Amino acid sequence: MSEIAIESQVGRTIDFEKERKKQRRVNFIKGILFLLPSIVLFSVFLFYPLIRTIYLSFFLTDNSGVTTVFVGIDNYANIFSSPIFMKSLTSTFIFVLYTVPGAIIISLFLALIANEKLRGVGIFRTMFSSTMGISVAAASVFWMFLFHPTIGWLNQLLEVIGLESIGWLTDPNWALFSVSITTIWMNIGFTFLILLGGLQSIDTYLYESADIDGAGYFYKLRRITIPMLSPTLFFVITVTMINAFQTFGQIDMLTRGGPQNETNLIVYSIYQEAFMNYQFGPASAQAVILFVIILVLTLVQFKLGERKVHYQ
């Protein structure tokens, strides 16, 4: 091959590389332009508040939130030495253990029923998902009436069957459990719809093949339904767990953290510290700790849970 041909080939290669790099830059700029609205929104409503919270957690502040004294990690040290915060942390984990499995199991049971081909099943689907359309405030007022110590239907039912009334929201032994029942009821609608959608996306050919082999209902449930539903279950468990750690509305409406701090979950503790005691530094430190807890648990769940997820 002559030197002219070689130089021509090298020149074409260099031009091709330049053109490819130029095209990459153009594609990158286009991508950034498409993402720019999301980047702006995330920066204003997510990234800046996160950075600001971490910054405030190392300071003491005045009543208006202006930093006054740099204290380093003293806010974190004081939090972990506070019996009130440790009680709040314990109550939060117990609350999550109550609400996440309870909501998932009940919603899965209802979704399995609603997925059957029965006459009028659409009415039940509407009923099971109706809690999605009820606000936290309205649902809390409804359950506050049910939990009322004298006129509440739950205590009236207990009296009918000969049992003593229960202080659902005033007894420290029952308050957290009562709020958990309310939360499960409120979360069932969303969880039910997601699981029902997952059930309806399973290929019916799998069930037809199992029927030909003479498989029973529970065998199909164990070998087909649950494995094929595992991606949906993984999503629902993750979202439900995160929402449980961030519970606030029903606590504020029903118990305000009482009695005896039994329902003083971390988010409500942050609210009290920041907007009642005006201690924005310690409140920010609690918020950072909550962020780390949710992040670590989510990463662990992704690490361990995805191994058992079966994709079609």
CATH number assigned to the domain comprising residue 210: 1.10.3720.10
222: which 2 tokens? Answer: 């164990």
> Model confidence over 159-204: pLDDT tens digits?
888 888 899 999 999 999 999 999 999 999 999 999 999 999 888 8
Q: Is residue 173 part of a domain?
A: yes
> Model confidence over 226-272: pLDDT tens digits?
888 988 999 999 999 999 999 999 999 999 998 889 999 999 999 99
Q: Are residues 148 and 93 in the same domain?
A: yes
Q: Are residues 52 and 88 in the same domain?
A: no
Q: Are residues 49 and 176 in the same domain?
A: no
Q: Are residues 234 and 190 in the same domain?
A: yes
Q: Are residues 131 and 88 in the same domain?
A: yes
User: Which amino acid belongs to residue 272?
Assistant: Q
Give the integer Cα–Cα distance in Å for 153 and 166: 11
Give the integer Cα–Cα distance in Å for 90 and 265: 8
Give the integer Cα–Cα distance in Å for 132 and 3: 75
According to DSSP, the residues that pair with 60 across neighbouring strands are: 69
Q: Are residues 13 and 143 in the same domain?
A: no
Q: Is residue 63 part of a domain?
A: no
Output the pLDDT for position 215: 82
Q: Is residue 66 part of a domain?
A: no
At 72 the three-state DSSP class reads coil
Q: Is residue 243 part of a domain?
A: yes
Count of structural domains, the chain: 2
User: Which amino acid belongs to residue 127?
Assistant: M
Which of 187-203 are b and which e, b meaning 16 or more Cβ less than 10 Å from the residue's Cβ?
Answer: bbbbbbbbbbebbeebe
Q: Is residue 235 part of a domain?
A: yes
Give the integer Cα–Cα distance in Å for 33 and 37: 8
Q: Is residue 73 part of a domain?
A: no
Q: Is residue 212 part of a domain?
A: yes
CB atoms within 10 A of CB 186: 24
Domain that includes residue 263, residue range: 78-308
Is the torsion defined by CA of 305, 307, 308, 312 positive or negative?
Answer: positive
Q: Are residues 120 and 23 in the same domain?
A: no
The predicted model scores a pTM of 0.87
- In 3-state terms the chain splits into helix, strand, coil percentages (rounded to 5) of 75, 0, 25
User: Which amino acid belongs to residue 306?
Assistant: E
- CB 245, CB 92: distance < 8 Å: yes
Instruction: Give the whole-number percent of the chain exceeding pLDDT 90.
Output: 52
Q: Are residues 86 and 231 in the same domain?
A: yes
> Model confidence over 94-117: pLDDT tens digits?
999 999 999 999 999 999 999 888
Q: Are residues 163 and 293 in the same domain?
A: yes
| pLDDT mean over 26-45 | 89
According to DSSP, the residues that pair with 69 across neighbouring strands are: 60
Q: Is residue 67 part of a domain?
A: no
Q: Are residues 222 and 122 in the same domain?
A: yes
55: which 2 tokens? Answer: 């910054």
Q: Are residues 156 and 256 in the same domain?
A: yes
Q: Are residues 40 and 136 in the same domain?
A: no
User: Which amino acid belongs to residue 28?
Assistant: F
Q: Is the pLDDT of residue 51 over 90?
A: yes
